[in-house]
Amino acid sequence: MPRDHEDPGLDSVDRHILAELQADGRMTNVELARRVNLSAPPCLRRVRRLEEAGVIRGYHADIDPVALGWEITFFALVGLESQKQAVLDAFESLATSWSEVRECHMIRGGGDFLLRLVARDTAHENELTSRLTGAPSVMRVQTLQTIRTAKDVAGVPIG
């Protein structure tokens, strides 16, 4: 009986821990233990186990992009003129090498990528769009500029 993605057998306490740490990744272990009704040592052991199993991939501070001068967040839907592996790989290498590209997803259907980017201002955004349009094998670039984000929740539902 094959299991794709190792099932660490998460019980309800584990899920509770994950929900708490997803909401506040810097919570002390003592506080976490209190919330999940455990004493500190077994709580910490569970957290370590979840980290080692890869269920918890890391912890990140959530930083306001605007405070660092990244005024614009936008998405770009990029169509390539070929679906050949070499072309896809080349575009991926290019896109992932730009620091302004924060996400790069290959989209089902072939030849399309969805990117999330940040830019300092509209001039910078235009420059990035131009660089995309002018990149090898790029046939089409549709920018999707975010004007309002109604919801942006870290992670996944737990329950």
Partner DNA sequence: TGGCCGGGCGCAATATCATTGCACGTTCCT
Partner DNA sequence: AGGAACGTGCAATGATATTGCGCCCGGCCA
Kindly state whether residue 150 participates in binding a copy of itself, applying the rule CB under 8 A. yes
Is 20:155 a contact under the CB 8 Å cutoff?
Answer: no
Residue 127 binds which entry of a copy of itself, DNA, none, with Cβ cut-offs from 5 to 8 Å by kind? none
Cα distance between residue 81 and residue 108, in whole Å: 15
d(CA 87, CA 94): 11
Cα–Cα distance, 157 to 159 (Å, whole number): 6
CA 3 – CA 24 distance, rounded (Å): 31
Which residues, numbered 99-138, are part of the site for a copy of itself (CB under 8 A)?
99-109, 112, 114, 118
146 scored as a contact of a copy of itself (CB under 8 A)? yes
Residue of 14, 11, 7 whose CA lies nearest to 47: 14
Among 13, 40, 44, 56, binds a copy of itself (CB under 8 A): 56
For 80, phi and psi rounded to 5 degrees?
-100, 160
Tell me the closest approach of the beta carbon of residue 66 to DNA, in angstroms: 21
User: Residue 133 carries which side chain, given as an amino acid letter?
Assistant: T
Please report how close the Cβ of residue 44 comes to DNA at its closest, in angstroms: 5
The only residue of 15, 23, 24, 30 in contact with DNA, by rule CB under 7 A:
30
Q: Which residues bind DNA (CB under 7 A)?
A: 13, 28-31, 37-42, 44-46
Q: Which residues bind a copy of itself (CB under 8 A)?
A: 5, 8, 10, 15, 18, 21-26, 53-68, 70, 75, 77, 92, 95-96, 99-109, 112, 114, 118, 144-159
